Amino acid sequence: QVQLVESGGGLVQAGASLRLSCEASGRTFSSSPMGWFRQAPGKDREFVATINWSGTVTSYGDSVKGRFTISRDNAKNTLYLQMNSLKPEDTAAYYCAATRTYSSGTYLAPNKYDYWGQGTQVTVSS
């Protein structure tokens, strides 16, 4: 059974940093893109970042570009999201996602992903 488990969320003040982790089990995703999405109450799921299988290609949503960094450790089957200069508008549940497709590219659309974590809450106070 495939599982993605996020951790690292919490309550922080504006300007602080957090590092989210997503540990995968049940299969390896070392040959597949992975991504982070977020969803705030009453809003649609929003693309945050994606990374290719080797970690050499990344893409970010406009609202987080320059502040967030996605990375992965394939030996640990773990995906990361380093979030710096957090703003109140970053408040949301953050989800990691993985695909069973072998691809050298990156995926921005949520419907490209087959597996999702349960989410970790990030709350940024002003």
pLDDT at 93: 98
In 3-state terms, what secondary structure has residue 89? helix
* pLDDT, tens digit (0-9, with 9 covering 90-100), for 47-86: 999 999 999 999 999 999 999 999 999 999 999 999 999 9
Quote the pLDDT of residue 104.
84
Indicate the pLDDT class of residue 103, thresholds 50, 70 and 90.
confident
Predicted confidence at residue 59, as pLDDT, reads 97
CB 101 within 8 A of CB 27: no
pLDDT in tens, 12-48: 999 999 999 999 999 889 899 999 999 999 999 999 9
Q: Are strands 18-25 and 34-39 parallel, antiparallel or unpaired?
A: unpaired
How far apart, in whole angstroms, are the C-alpha atoms of residue 95 and residue 26? 18
